[in-house]
Structure 1
């Protein structure tokens, strides 16, 4: 037990105060993450949209997310990560209060498009901000700490959101808006005059200069001309198409097949956030010691396949929680390391663009994932959907495996 505690505590050691504050901001912002997991239910249960209309609106979330990732990456390199994050947080607040007014598929599609664009601008800037304040050797753990805060917030948000949805779906949007405002005030107050640790930045710069001598053709080019990074991002996109069923068809599956109430759906989704919050820093710390970056990504992708295959077993609620646990571990072994690949692949002047393209890959999945998932579920059933995802995930794992030698991480 003492060795376990020492290892667990060691996973958090060496992280800077700004890294912790960025995680606090992420926690405050994501504690209000009540809208997206329940957006499908909001449209089908409250607005009485069909499955096809619901999938279409959710796809507009993806279009906005793609635009936001691209614009956020470009803006971060041009005006800096601080201004981009502050603007995203404060501009999103009024939008969360406007969306409940929109009642038709067209109106809601446009509202969700703008909302997702504004909120997704935050992500590339946030990742570059983490790299700015973190020591190079702690980068993946700093990213994991940020994701841990995200998932703790995601654990709290849907759990509270499930109960708020039982009262009124409008409260989901209001809660998200208030949490974004609080996160914005905390971020602005702490970071408005904060600079990176120049000692660490100098060391990182010297190390990066040596890397640039050996690999200048890659690090100084645009990510959109880096063919191996584009292929890597395409695999990330396919992984995300499977992963983001968490936000679209999985809640519908729980509701329609297992007849679980909104509060129960919220608890299962919250379990995902709780597992990631509890285990991510520890597992990432172990993975950094025992595995290469791509070994971790391949392993996590295989776990995703297993988690969806388990949903073919219809023998009780325990299957849903076991599948969600494996799903959560998959997330831990994949998502922090994909960000590390992007940041370490990029020259410092191109980090925003690389994170923008990486974010764009995940955002593109928001377009394809809900529409494709709901279409397959509506026409062929949920079992066909889960079987397809399990097989595709194995294909993605093989792709990551063969790409591993093209990246020096």
Structure 2
């Protein structure tokens, strides 16, 4: 019993109440956010769209998300985390109801793009709020729990969605809208605004003959993140990981359908991944804490590459389930170091903006994966999965090459910040 209590304390102890309300809002949102998972099947099975056209419409969702994640980052740093979260959730619910009763493909494409915008806006605000309220030494467990909640919700969503999609796609969209409103209610009721005005700091000049240290810009903005070369290399590698991950919600449903497997089978594959994460994610921190972040990310990306590469020979549900187990382990290993590296590279006053550029990889991947993947699957068939696997292996090597210089850069940034004469009050105060 003592060992169990110790494990729970190491996994989830010492986190503030605001974090848990954010966690609950994310969990509720994801448990009901399943409509877009089945958009490609909805378009082909109900609206009569071709595979290529369905990929383009789903790609519009990703294109909207690319704009939305940047907008969410800017608003979260200027307007506030709470206000951004509430606005995005409320607008999402309204658009989802509209989509439920829309028929023309052009209108569905426009609505998909708009939903992509508001679906992506909360991501940088959620993570920036977590960084605001959780001390640096506890953020790894907070990010691990955030990823756990996301996938616990996805597991529930996949099981419900498989049943709802076979009964009524309209119900699928309406239940999604209801869950989004519930998440907004939790955030509005219990989550305070965590954005605080930045305390001015004085830039220190390096002593004569000293080694120059990286310095934070005097008037930072979104361009700071977009011109941070070390950060952008990390973002580029994350983009490849996102392209691989997006195969599950964009191309894999079409491949399974071509193999004669229906929506319930697809729901089972996605639910298996969520279930594995629910069971195993809480043990990940102890597994990876002893290893360098770049090594962990290289191993995780390689597992994703292997898992999706196996789909080149998949034609039965059992093979899809086995491959899902492999790539899910890769996703589990990647989540904490990805979030930690992002937090390490971001200046405090630009947390949400850096998060928005980081999260830009996911809507960008949501556009690239179906747009190119739909054409690739249509013309190359199962060879599409060999290309996906090869791309993942290249990214794994990239992580090993980029890791050491990035760690040196992070260490230099920390030294530069420690030399500043002022420190923000919220970074000094312990949170219990």
Secondary structure class of the residue paired with 2:33 = coil
Q: 1:253 aligns with which of 255, 264, 271?
A: 255
Structure 1 stretches of 5 or more lacking a match? none
Are residue 42 (structure 1) and residue 42 (structure 2) matched? yes
Residues 270/347 of structure 1: CA separation in 2 closer, same or farther (3 Å cut) = same
Total equivalences in the alignment: 396
- Residue 8 (structure 1) shift: 5.8
The answer for the alignment partner of 1:229 in structure 2 is 231
Are residue 343 (structure 1) and residue 358 (structure 2) matched? no
Residues 2/314 of structure 1: CA separation in 2 closer, same or farther (3 Å cut) = farther
- Residue 34 (structure 1) shift: 1.6
Are residue 386 (structure 1) and residue 385 (structure 2) matched? yes
Secondary structure class of the residue paired with 1:260 = coil
Instruction: Tell me, in whole angstroms, the C-alpha distance in 1 between the residues paired with 2:81 and 2:12.
Output: 24
The answer for the alignment partner of 1:129 in structure 2 is 129
Q: Deviations over 1:335-356 (max 9, x none)?
A: 3322221221011011111111
Kept in 2: contact 1:8–1:282 (CA 8 A): no
Instruction: Tell me, in whole angstroms, the C-alpha distance in 1 between the residues paired with 2:101 and 2:109.
Output: 12
The answer for the alignment partner of 2:274 in structure 1 is 273
Kept in 2: contact 1:33–1:158 (CA 8 A): no
Q: Deviations over 1:155-206 (max 9, x none)?
A: 01111111111111011110110000000001110013x6599xxx99xx99
CA RMSD of aligned residues (A): 2.5
Structure of higher CA gyration radius: 2
Instruction: Tell me, in whole angstroms, the C-alpha distance in 2 between the residues paired with 1:214 and 1:64.
Output: 38
Secondary structure class of the residue paired with 2:313 = coil
Structure 2 stretches of 5 or more lacking a match? 205-211, 411-432
**TM-score, normalised via structure 1 length:** 0.91
Q: Deviations over 1:318-349 (max 9, x none)?
A: 32112111111111122332222122101101
The answer for the alignment partner of 1:400 in structure 2 is 399
Q: Deviations over 1:230-270 (max 9, x none)?
A: 1221221122112101111111222221x222222112111
Secondary structure class of the residue paired with 2:48 = coil
- After superposing on structure 2, the runs of 4+ consecutive aligned residues of structure 1 that deviate more than 4 Å are 1-6, 194-197, 217-221
For 1:10-409, list aligned pairs within 5 A.
10-192=10-192, 214-217=213-216, 222-257=224-259, 259-287=260-288, 289-314=289-314, 316-381=316-381, 383-408=382-407
Instruction: Tell me, in whole angstroms, the C-alpha distance in 2 between the residues paired with 1:349 and 1:29.
Output: 27
- Residue 275 (structure 1) shift: 1.2
Kept in 2: contact 1:339–1:355 (CA 8 A): no
Residues 349/376 of structure 1: CA separation in 2 closer, same or farther (3 Å cut) = same
**TM-score, normalised via structure 2 length:** 0.86
Kept in 1: contact 2:77–2:351 (CA 8 A): yes
Kept in 2: contact 1:133–1:196 (CA 8 A): no
Kept in 1: contact 2:62–2:366 (CA 8 A): yes
